[in-house]
Each structure stands twice: as C-alpha cells, then as structure tokens.
Amino acid sequence: MPKFCANLTWLFRERPLMDRFRAAAEAGFEAVEVLFPYDAPAQDMRDQMIWNGLTFVLMNCPPPNATGGPQGFAAIPGLEDRFRRDFDRTLRFAQVLKPRHIHVMAGVAEGAEAEATFVQNLKWAAAHAPKQSLTIEPINRHDMPGYFLADYDTAARVLDAVAAPNLSLQFDAYHAHRITGDVVGSWAAYGDRAVHVQVAGFPGRHEPAGGEIDYTIFFARLDAEGYGGWVSGEYAPATSTEAGLDWMR
C-alpha cells in the first residue's frame, strides 16, 4: 500500500487550520500538504508539524489563495516579473515550512507563446532554487476553465524543454480521469516522471473509493512499480473527514 498524505486545505475542514495538523496525525497520517499556506504564520505551521511528527510534502506557488484569484502566472506572457516576485515570496515561506515539493501553477493562457513563457519561467525557477523540488500538474479545464497545462503531452514537452533535475510531474488521478478517462493508462505513459500523486473519487471529488476510478488497481500499480513518493488525499469528504478514511486501510 502506498504511503498516504493529508491535504489540509481539503481535509479536516471542520477545524481551524492549526488544529488540522493534530487531527491528521491522530487519524494516522504521517505527512500533510497545504495548497496555499500564506494566510497563517509559517513558523506556527512548522511548529505544528514538528509537535505532531509530520512531514510537509507540498505547497503551491503563487501565494494568492484559491478563492476567486488567478490560478498562477507562470505561463502568462508579460507577467514574468510578477511570477518571479511571487516565486521569491513562496521561497521565503518554504525556508520555514521546508516542503518536499513546490507546485508551480501555470495560470490561464493558451498557445505557443504561453508555452514558451512557461518553459522560460520554469528554467529560471529551477535555476533560482536548485535544491528545491518543483512540480507541474495537468489540471482539467472542466474544473479550471482555460488553465494552460491541461494535458500530459504538453506537460512532458515542457519537462523535456526545461530539462532541470529538480522539476518533475505532479500526477493527480482525479484530473487524469477528467482529462483522459484512463488513470492507469495515463500513469503507464507518464508516471515515470511523477514525484507526487494526489487522489480523489469521481464523480463528486469525494473519497477515493468506489466511483469510476478503480483505486484498488491504481494503488496496486504504484506498489508494483515501487513508487516511493507520497499519495495525497485531495478531496472533499462526503461527510466528516474521519468517517471517510476507510479508503486508506
């Protein structure tokens, strides 16, 4: 069975953010991710992770939170300076939080110029933070209309163009199902590039159990291939978080 991580942006939302770290540890998680941790003191979050014996796996860049704000700038021509400023702010938080990975969000854009901008920004970021693992993630356009990085072929092309040892793929099984309809096939084609996995059920984006995605097969595939990264539950619990955790066991 893979090693599971709790996405505290989505899970344990019955509690304030600072209380979710303890809740995750008590539920059996050994690692957490927080997508946009910028509205809370970084040291307070770091203390919670230390006190509860948790590893911090992932955070997103840029800093603005997901509530109605732009979903990244890395692929938007003309916003290179903003991307660099935001990336530096992310790194300041990362110095305290010590995430294993930072997910660099592309933003809403299209076309060859957007791809070239994405590649150049990622080259700069990878060289600017050579010891920090960075990821890019294809996100389906049903959930995020107009998002630039919306398929795996583009992601592979961008990774090859950047060719940085600290830039890899982030594989979200829910998005893979939305994009291709074939999670296991998508993993077979691109999983060797992935350093982080996220999961949720379909339809509904609830617990990764039942529904159209066969997680028994997918998790067995990860085990068979010796995937050593974390698998994060990034889903909206159907009821309470604790009531729906049987999928881990």
pLDDT tens-digit map of 60-72: 998 765 556 677 9
The catalytic residue among 30, 137, 212, 225 is 137
Active site residue 33: no
Active site residue 234: yes
Provide the pLDDT for residue 71.
78
Each residue's pLDDT tens digit, 154-199: 999 999 999 999 999 999 999 999 999 999 999 999 999 999 999 9
Which portions of the chain are predicted below pLDDT 70? 64-69
Sign of the dihedral defined by the CA atoms of residues 71, 35, 64, 154, in that order: negative
What's the CA gap between 111 and 118, in Å, rounded?
A: 11
Residues 6+ apart with CB under 8 A from 107: 70, 71, 72, 73, 74, 75, 76, 79, 147, 148
Query: Which residue range is the domain that position 58 belongs to?
Result: 3-248
Total domain count for the chain?
A: 1
Provide the pLDDT for residue 64.
64
Residue 107: which CATH number? 3.20.20.150
Provide the pLDDT for residue 98.
98
Strands (E), the chain: 3-7, 31-33, 55-61, 101-104, 133-136, 167-172, 194-199, 230-233
Sign of the dihedral defined by the CA atoms of residues 180, 183, 188, 192, in that order: positive
pTM of this prediction exceeds 0.85: yes
Contact present, 9 and 200 (Cβ < 8 Å): no
